[in-house]
Amino acid sequence: MNRTPVLSRRTLLRGMGALMALPLLDVMRPRTARAATPAPRRFVAFYTPCGIHMPKWTPGGEGADYSLTPTLASLAPVKGDVLVLSGLDNLPGRPDGDGHHAAATAAFLSCVKARKTEGTNIRTGISMDQVLANAVGKATRYPSLELGIDQGRGIGNCDSGYACPYANNIAWAGPSTPVPKETKPRAAFERLFADFDPNATQEELAKRKAYGLSIIDAVRDDAKALQGKLGTTDRSKLDEYFTGVRELELRVNAMDGAGPTCGTAVEPADNEDVREKTKAMLDLIVLAFQCDLTRTCTFMLGNARSQRVYSFLGLSGEHHAYSHHQRAQANYDALAKIDKWEVEQYAYLLERMKGVQEEGGTLLDHSAVYFSSEIADGNMHEHKNLPILLAGRAGGAISPGRHVRYPGQPLANLYIALLNMFGVPATTFGDDGTGPLSGLGAQ
């Protein structure tokens, strides 16, 4: 019979009116089951807008004997942890008439055809991540975490008669209920790691605000008391966690100019440098998983029809405009630069996850990290042969390090397979899911 753990998994550090969550420690698990208890499985959906220039995406060769293309070159350090999946279609993403980007983004994780409307009577389907959150989310503080870079409008027409919620969200709690994403790193950080204690005194809250205390400084006394209850492994894990939180906090502070102040508080403007924001958000995902605050996350590196100008890549035009390349070599070259940068961000997330050691492997080993766009070629608005990467091993359910082709199979079948890996007994999904995609595990 398992003995009661020394410390609850929901333990929070307190101090100066602040609350701080903890990573999953050995003392939080039943003593007689620690060696046998596997780390939890996590899921990330990583969305990129406007499609991909497919000629520089698709690898040559199949199985383990394949070569990375220039667009995928940054995956070299984690190539053995990644599946490249070719041939999957998401036909429910096709719009009625025009509106390919918004309609396909609404179907990105739902695989359900969106009702064409620019009013409030929106309708698509529950997204795969929310099905997963409903099944496993009760085990964590947050059933799911939704992050992104661009907020976007919440109402009106955002793509040829399709309402803005279709273009700005990939997580849907139900057919008419998008789950809004957080696009401010500071707000996401405070939500995850620096909640205010509802039982704190006004004096404690005022002191923390006046001195601009770090969340680590605010809970330092409670942390020192906890150290005495921990073994060597847990102390090391806690130190590593505190270091990661503090480094991220400093970066978030630097982004918006926040810092210690004793004068009148003025809300700082957010730093909109997409490079800084993206890395901060990806680091938040890693820490949220490390802390077991959630096991399901979505991230949008832009909204549908993104008009971002990647000046740091030497480009002067908008992403969406380049995606309608009209077979012009200059547009192809611009798209290749953008695509390569997007994959580099995904590779950064994978390497960060691979660097976190857990019971029986790494955080990446225990996760499934999905990457794709709403369409393939942006000029043709193709909903077939989507650009898809799936990294991690999902606790042993996935055998990565290969390029696998699935010509003509529905994307929904991949989602069924992923849900099954997380213990959700799905047999159908979306408009066209017929059963779990085969060949993802050990051959």
Inter-residue contact 104 to 90 (CB < 8 Å): yes
Length of the chain: 443
Assign 218 a pLDDT band (cuts: 50, 70, 90): low
**160-207 per-position pLDDT tens digit:** 999 999 999 999 999 999 999 999 998 898 888 765 444 555 555 454
| pLDDT tens column, 94-110 | 999 999 999 999 999 99
Q: Where are the domains of the chain?
A: 39-184+274-422
- Which residues make beta-bridge pairs with 86? 405
- Using alpha carbons only, give the angle 256, 50, 145 rounded to the nearest 5 degrees: 50
- The pLDDT value recorded for residue 212 is 45
Using the predicted structure, report yes or no on whether residue 6 has a pLDDT greater than 70.
no
pLDDT the model gives residue 227: 74
pLDDT recorded at residue 19: 65
Residue 436 has a pLDDT of: 98
The 3-class SS string of the chain reads: CCCCCCCCCCCEEEECCEEEECCCCHHHCCHHHCCCCCCCCEEEEEEECCCCCHHHCCCECCECCCECCHHHHHHHHHHHHEEEEECCECHHHCCCCCCHHHHHHHCCCCCCCCCCCCCCCCCCCCCHHHHHHHHHHHHCCCCCEEEECCCCCCCCEEECCEEHHHHHCCCEEECCEECCCECCHHHHHHHHHCEECCCCCHHHHHHHHHHCCCHHHHCHHHHHHHHCCCCHHHHHHHHHHHHHHHHHHHHHHHHHCCCCCCCCCCCCCCCCCHHHHHHHHHHHHHHHHHCCCCCEEEEECCCCCCCCECHHHCCCCEHHHHHCCCCCHHHHHHHHHHHHHHHHHHHHHHHHHHCCEECCEECCCCEEEEEEECCCCCCCCCCCCCCEEEECCHHHCCCCCEEEECCCCEHHHHHHHHHHHCCCCCCCECCCECCCCCCCCCC
The predicted pLDDT at position 158 comes to: 96
Whether residue 405 has pLDDT greater than 90: yes
Cβ pair 437, 417 in contact under 8 A: yes
For the chain, percent of residues with pLDDT exceeding 70 = 82
Is residue 395 pLDDT above 50, yes or no?
yes
pLDDT of residue 236: 80
**Does the pLDDT value for residue 333 go beyond 70?**
yes
279: left (phi over 0), alpha (psi -120 to 50) or beta: alpha
- pLDDT at residue 246, as a whole number: 75
What is the predicted pLDDT for the residue at 312? 98
Kindly tell me the sign of the dihedral angle through the C-alpha atoms of 333, 335, 338, 340.
negative
Residue 254 pLDDT > 90, yes or no?
Answer: no
Summarize the confidence of residues 345-359 as an average pLDDT: 95
**Most confident segment among 13-22, 49-58, 133-142, 241-250:** 49-58
User: Do 194 and 215 meet the contact criterion of CB atoms below 8 Å apart?
Assistant: yes
pLDDT number for residue 5: 52
Of 11-20, 83-92, 394-403, the one with minimum mean pLDDT is 11-20
Q: Does residue 277 contact residue 255 with C-beta atoms inside 8 Å?
A: yes
Residue listed under structure tokens 């060769």: 61
Per-residue pLDDT, 154? 85
Q: 8-34 pLDDT, tens per residue?
A: 665 666 554 456 667 767 777 766 554
For the stretch 30-63, pLDDT in tens is 665 545 568 999 999 999 999 999 999 999 999 9
The pLDDT value given to residue 267: 34
When pLDDT is cut at 50, 70 and 90, the band that residue 7 belongs to is low
Q: How many CB atoms lie within 10 A of CB 267?
A: 7
Question: Tokens for 75?
Answer: 């995956």
Instruction: Look at residue 194 in the predicted model and tell me its pLDDT.
Output: 63
Instruction: Lowest mean pLDDT of 22-26, 140-144, 236-240, name the range.
Output: 22-26
Q: What per-residue confidence (pLDDT) applies to 264?
A: 34
Name the residue among 101, 90, 157, 45 with its Cα closest to residue 306: 101
pLDDT score for 211: 42
Distance separating alpha carbons of residues 322 and 229, to the nearest angstrom? 57
Partnered with residue 163 across adjacent β-strands are 157
**pLDDT for position 216:** 63
The pLDDT score that the predictor gives to residue 117 is 97
Q: Please, which pLDDT band fits residue 240 given cuts at 50, 70 and 90?
A: confident
- In this model, does residue 354 exceed pLDDT 90? yes
Q: Which residues pair with 19 in a beta bridge?
A: 14, 195
Q: Give mean pLDDT, residues 225-246.
A: 77
Work out the pLDDT band at 120, boundaries 50, 70, 90. Answer: very high
pLDDT of amino acid 47: 98
The mean of the pLDDT values for the chain is 87
Q: What sign for the dihedral angle of Cα 97, 102, 105, 107?
A: negative
Name beta bridge partners: 82.
Answer: 391
- If you compute the radius of gyration of the chain from its CA atoms, what whole number of angstroms results? 22
User: What's the pTM?
Assistant: 0.85
Q: What tens digit of pLDDT does each residue of 256-275 get?
A: 654 333 233 333 334 579 99
Least confident of 119-128, 208-217, 296-305, 318-327: 208-217
Half-sphere exposure in the Cβ direction for 407 (13 Å, CA): 0
Are 167 and 109 spatial neighbours (Cβ–Cβ below 8 Å)?
A: no
Q: Which CATH number fits domain 39-184+274-422: 3.30.43.10, 3.40.720.10, 1.10.3720.10, 3.40.190.290?
A: 3.40.720.10
